[in-house]
Structure 1
Amino acid sequence: MSYFTSPEFLRVLVLGLITSLHMTWRRLVNQLVPVPYLDEFFHVPQAQAYWLGKWTQWDPKITTPPGLYIFSYMVNSVRDFVSLDFKPSLNEWRSTNVLLLYMLLVALYILTAVERKTVSHESILQREFSIILFPLIFFFSALYYTDLFSVFTVVLAQIFWSAGTSAKGSSKFLYQALHLAAGLVSLATRQTNIFWVAVYLGGLQVLESVRREIGVEKLHDPPVSEAYFEDVPTTSISLGQSAFILVPRLLLDLWPQLSLLGAFAGFVAWNGGVVLGDKDNHIATLHLPQMLYIWPLIVFFSWPVLLPQFVHLPTFRQRLPRLSTTLVILTLMLVTVNLNTIIHPFTLADNRHYTFYVFRILRQHWLLKYVAVPVYYVCACLVLGALGGPTTEPRRPHQSPSRVLYGDETVRVSWVLVWFVTTSLSLVSAPLVEPRYFLIPWLTWRMAVPEYIPQSSNEESKAVSEKKSSSGHGPLAPRSPTSLQAILRVAASYSNAIELTWYAMINLVTCYVFLYRGFEWPQEPGSVQRFMW
């Protein structure tokens, strides 16, 4: 194989293309939007105040802690050290997120290595490329928003937690201390990160400790691909009983997460609430439909990731929930929509955000919000089903069982429980629906979905030969798959490329609309308003 056709070289080309697109986006934003826009109107002056040494100055309209401003101060201080007469402008503050995009890319690679996830070294389009091109990450990387730093700190905390699970002695304590430090930085960026650096990683730590002390085989914790709805409460009870007898050990293993929870509780007591400023418009409210909206959002963005479920349709049909389960969940969803649908005034008042138009459609007729319920359910089944990995033809008794790997283990019901609980806690208290709120839930889900590695032609031939010999009809060829099945199989084998292309198309449209399809409000003539997430 020539070096110029090797996967390593082609990966460099793909990353170069992504970098070129990103730098073009950044340059155009700075050229066409030379003044702070929307939330930048609050973030930039606050960062500028810190740069001028006004550490006690605070804009009461800002609701999140100052982590990003302090990080930006540190980055620009380095630039000030090597440059004469350095004066940060809007461009320099925005460049913080440019740096963070590539720091996030490196962190994702490290996380994959530390967790020893199964990846194809022959794969050119690795999932890290798709993540940094994900529209909500790519779009805000050119603006001075807090999202990239928030995501980066959560990934950093997970790196240290994961490294600590396999370490011992003083090394383990060091990684736990680093996890605590990264978690505190994450909390200083966004308050809701407490659910990801403490609750989510704490839940994973409980699973890790219980499996290590009790053994996976003694727990009721089936793989997602083999689970039914009733396995959810059974797994919860099994884990609860096992964890109860290990409480002293768990307290030792969970000290970083418990310390983070304690620090967060202290902040809430000192601040008189979770939100720093503008408390009147950001009141915590029970908003259960948030856990309905997340499923179509993930499907919209990540439908290519779902394609490997359809590699073998008979197996896919076996994974679908039972009718009784479907009826129960649909009923609960309908009740939730009927009793707890909340539409924040900001959503209806600001036509610059895409959510404004989504909810305008849902409000055109009172029945539409109920018609959407089956869509929520189907999307949820597909999103959770993707964690079971690609469907495969059932193995014969004499063959070894197949396993879909996530690190060293299959994705099990227990992980879904931890992820679902954490996602619920982080979303259901927010009355405002913003796509950015779903960013970390999407990221943790995306990193957990097993990578689909198509069989090579030699493996397929071997599988066909085994099928012939086991059936006793060697001369007869097996029944060829249907045209639909063949199309789905080919589409699944190119799911990474389709995902990357899909994200590039979304970015092309949304970035173009933001830059070149501005409009004016009658009450603010001369001020350009721009569409954005």
Structure 2
Amino acid sequence: MADSIEVTRRWASPLATLALSIPILILVSRRTGKKWQNFPPFSLLTLLSGAWFMIVSETVSEPYLVWQKFSHDEIFHIPQAQRYCEGKFLEWDDKITTPPGLYLFSILLQKTAAAVKLPWVFSCDTSSLRITNVLGLIVLASLTLLCRHEIESRLYEAHSSARLKAISKYAVHTAFNIALFPLLFFFSGLYYTDVISTAVVVGGYLNHLKRVGRDRSSFVSDLITVLLGTLALLMRQTNVFWIVVWMGGLEAVHALKTMRPQHAEQPFMTTLTDQVKFYAWRYSVGDIHDPPLNLAWPDDMLFTAISLAIAALCNPIRVIRQIWPYISVLAAFASFVAWNGGVVLGDKSNHVATIHLAQLLYIWPFFAFFSLPLLLPHVIPILDIARNVLRSLSQSGQRAGSSQPSKTSRSFEFSRFVKSKRPEGSKARDTRSTASQVALETPSHGSPSPALRTADFIFNSKFIPWIIYTLLTFVVSTAIVKFNTIIHPFTLADNRHYMFYIFRYTIRRGSLIRFMLIIPYTISRWMVWGTLAGCADWILSSNRELCSARYNVNEPAPYTSYPLWIAWGTKKTQTNVEYPQDVSQMPRNSASTDGELRGTVEDDPLLVSAEPTSTSTGLIFLLATTLSLMTAPLVEPRYFILPWVMWRLLVPAWRVHDHAHINSLFEGVAPRSIVGKTREVFKRYDVRLVLETLWFVAINVATGYIFLMKPYVWKDEQGRNLEDGRLQRFMW
């Protein structure tokens, strides 16, 4: 009888979670064009997370990781949550440094179970508390799905009068993969703060995405923003950077973009001073420079930041009106820090804020490893170049007696990838290599000053800004490695974490290894940033107009205001594209519009998902990531979860035929062959998502197996058991 009761209690929480997840899945499914499109993957996610929870609870039934130095583990969280369940809100374990937000969610589940007369479903034991994160993972997947849909809607509706209603398959699969992200999935079976904290921040991000769909937010929306921001701070203190800097920064940019000044014709100016004054004026009235990230070069990023700074300084009231909820959250956080005497609760001695810039180097290999399948587009051009080189060399002997070059030799044009001048598309200018030179030498325009000639030469070049950027980042990386490599005692003291072994076999091998690691840091950064940019300039070189993205060399984006564009000839404006309008003021789609949009999406399902984000969004992401990591002396993979989730939400879809014109990997493939049919499928579906799912499953299986099936006992030098012979387990 007792055994049957125990079995019933053991299954009660998973079954209750499954029951609670069904309404969530139905609610989210109603937002899709095909209402049950996302039900199968989310149901599978529920089963997978429930199975992981059951296996962990069966194998590791007691709170895990017993060691007094680690205040973020179950041995501290579970007893504290149980005190809260008993109503002992004034009792606090000083070893815990994070706020009690996680416990409040557990209390909510406990009270809900009691309210429906099923208190045995959630009894605040170890198993019941862990189920909080299983439910949190399902909620997180639902929120990421809605966030990705809102991102696609904002980008699509910026250049279309049709409102995007149906959730794309890309958004569904992206949300599923985010939930499978190894760090999130692993900790969904334990009682840690990461899953719920991430879900709360993503919920705040969803609220932000809805706010930027209209010019002015309502007072109710402002209050909701304050409440969500405060709730995020109750989960983890570092969430302040993602609420205030990330979302607040994006809304500040949104406030500036709603100014929508008239496009002004630019006179031809012969001095650099006149050019600077003209664009300073244009920036002050809201004509900012913020191109899509796939069209941005390093100097675009610099001028985007400058234009935003000038516009914000000249229009402070407009900005403050939009971001005052985030200012309120920041003020609340500052008040807490002043009252608490520091950022962390409890034990402050082992959690002293330190400038740790090396975190900004470590994050890129972290992204590259976990998102390895997403880097596929960067491999194809390299494979194509290598393939054509080898083919050209192998056929050189056959062409020795012939003066006619082969098709292969003609197709291999290395100059497509290496050009002396930048394309017009990145700045929406006339052909820069010839037209600018002619214009500068045209007497009717006057004689440009030496300063203007110099600036025109530098910024017309494709390689000079890149060389400066590369050298600068290399020098900064070298300085960080030399002067700011910090190895926290906790990293060296606990061999149960993978980071112990990563440091042991890389950074601790010697100074030479540390400096050599700058190369993979740099390559990883380029590839991760390029993945965020989507169909980018440096990949497609002279054929950028064939990218999936809406704006390209022939049609510049509406926020194109490059300060070194010179108005020669008859063209007096960089772009005449209309600014995006307030979505709330857009008329509802007619039946014909809905039908046309459905037809377009059915013909090309990835079309609405391939739009890259803006340059300002990328810059604010870098700023928020920097601030959230640079004060943490301990290198902890879990600190990278939120940066990765936000980055992953912004990654646009990739289509195989975006690269078809620059590679010959499919040359000669019959359309009816298996390879040909596979290519056609991947024209309509992002193959990277499938590979990403398989990659995450492989990592989760491997790390889960090691955690559950490879325990060991700590021993001293004499071979005696430590920690009373408790089993230790490998984990993130």
TM above 0.5, yes or no, is yes
Residue deviations 1:178-199 (CA, integer Å, cap 9, x gap): 1110110000110000001111
**Residue matched to 2:341:** 272
Note if contact 1:519-1:529 (Cα within 8 Å) is conserved in structure 2: yes
TM norm structure 1:
0.87
**Matching of residue 219 in structure 1 with residue 288 in structure 2:** yes
**Residue matched to 1:332:** 476
Q: CA deviation at 1:494?
A: 1.1
**Matching of residue 508 in structure 1 with residue 701 in structure 2:** yes
The 1:518–1:480 alpha-carbon spacing in structure 2 relative to 1, beyond 3 Å, is closer
1:86-485 map, 5 Å: 86=120, 87-115=123-151, 116=153, 121=168, 123=170, 126-167=173-214, 172-214=218-260, 218-310=287-379, 322-362=466-506, 363-391=508-536, 392=540, 393-395=543-545, 401=555, 410-455=612-657, 481-482=664-665
Note if contact 1:309-1:389 (Cα within 8 Å) is conserved in structure 2: no
SS of structure 2 residue aligned to 1:273: coil
Whole-angstrom CA distance in 2 between matches of 1:479 and 1:262: 52
Whole-angstrom CA distance in 2 between matches of 1:78 and 1:41: 25
Q: CA deviation at 1:122?
A: 5.0
SS of structure 2 residue aligned to 1:142: coil
Residue deviations 1:475-530 (CA, integer Å, cap 9, x gap): xxx99714699999879941010001100000000011100001110122420001
The 1:517–1:317 alpha-carbon spacing in structure 2 relative to 1, beyond 3 Å, is farther
Letter in 2 for 1:22: S
SS of structure 1 residue aligned to 2:517: helix
Whole-angstrom CA distance in 2 between matches of 1:122 and 1:51: 41
Whole-angstrom CA distance in 2 between matches of 1:227 and 1:305: 20
Task: Name the larger-Rg structure.
Answer: 2
**Residue matched to 1:530:** 729
The 1:306–1:401 alpha-carbon spacing in structure 2 relative to 1, beyond 3 Å, is farther
Whole-angstrom CA distance in 1 between matches of 2:367 and 2:253: 26
Note if contact 1:308-1:493 (Cα within 8 Å) is conserved in structure 2: no
Note if contact 1:285-1:428 (Cα within 8 Å) is conserved in structure 2: yes
Q: Which runs of 5+ in 2 are unaligned?
A: 1-32, 66-72, 157-165, 264-286, 383-413, 420-461, 547-551, 558-605, 670-674, 716-721
Note if contact 1:11-1:125 (Cα within 8 Å) is conserved in structure 2: yes
Residue deviations 1:16-39 (CA, integer Å, cap 9, x gap): 433332222111100000000120
SS of structure 2 residue aligned to 1:282: coil
Q: Report the count of equivalent residues.
A: 508
Whole-angstrom CA distance in 1 between matches of 2:364 and 2:530: 12
SS of structure 1 residue aligned to 2:713: strand
Whole-angstrom CA distance in 1 between matches of 2:125 and 2:353: 35
Letter in 1 for 2:142: V
Note if contact 1:161-1:175 (Cα within 8 Å) is conserved in structure 2: no
Letter in 2 for 1:426: S
Note if contact 1:47-1:72 (Cα within 8 Å) is conserved in structure 2: yes
Percent identity between matched residues is: 39
Note if contact 1:406-1:450 (Cα within 8 Å) is conserved in structure 2: no
The 1:63–1:316 alpha-carbon spacing in structure 2 relative to 1, beyond 3 Å, is farther
Residue deviations 1:380-432 (CA, integer Å, cap 9, x gap): 11111112113554338x99559898989742221121111111100000000
**Residue matched to 2:425:** none
Whole-angstrom CA distance in 2 between matches of 1:376 and 1:45: 41
Q: CA deviation at 1:149?
A: 1.2
Letter in 1 for 2:87: G
Q: Which runs of 5+ in 1 are unaligned?
A: 1-5, 465-477
**Residue matched to 2:91:** 57
**Residue matched to 1:470:** none
Note if contact 2:130-2:190 (Cα within 8 Å) is conserved in structure 1: yes
Note if contact 1:214-1:242 (Cα within 8 Å) is conserved in structure 2: no
SS of structure 1 residue aligned to 2:725: strand
Whole-angstrom CA distance in 2 between matches of 1:399 and 1:256: 39
Whole-angstrom CA distance in 1 between matches of 2:366 and 2:174: 19
Whole-angstrom CA distance in 2 between matches of 1:107 and 1:306: 25
The 1:303–1:97 alpha-carbon spacing in structure 2 relative to 1, beyond 3 Å, is same
Letter in 1 for 2:257: R
Of residues 297-306 and 84-93 in structure 1, the stretch that sits farther from structure 2 once superposed is 84-93
Note if contact 2:290-2:614 (Cα within 8 Å) is conserved in structure 1: yes
Whole-angstrom CA distance in 1 between matches of 2:100 and 2:146: 26
Note if contact 2:380-2:663 (Cα within 8 Å) is conserved in structure 1: no
Q: CA deviation at 1:215?
A: 5.4
Of residues 12-21 and 149-158 in structure 1, the stretch that sits farther from structure 2 once superposed is 12-21
Whole-angstrom CA distance in 1 between matches of 2:656 and 2:663: 18
Of residues 206-215 and 260-269 in structure 1, the stretch that sits farther from structure 2 once superposed is 206-215
Whole-angstrom CA distance in 2 between matches of 1:278 and 1:402: 54
Note if contact 1:309-1:316 (Cα within 8 Å) is conserved in structure 2: no
TM norm structure 2:
0.64
**Residue matched to 2:446:** none
Residue deviations 1:427-470 (CA, integer Å, cap 9, x gap): 00000000000110111111111122455xxxx9xx99xxxxxx
SS of structure 2 residue aligned to 1:280: coil
Q: CA deviation at 1:328?
A: 2.2
Letter in 1 for 2:729: R
Q: CA deviation at 1:124?
A: 8.9
Residue deviations 1:239-261 (CA, integer Å, cap 9, x gap): 11111111011111111000001
Note if contact 1:164-1:173 (Cα within 8 Å) is conserved in structure 2: no
Letter in 1 for 2:694: T
The 1:414–1:402 alpha-carbon spacing in structure 2 relative to 1, beyond 3 Å, is closer
SS of structure 2 residue aligned to 1:219: coil
Whole-angstrom CA distance in 2 between matches of 1:441 and 1:485: 42
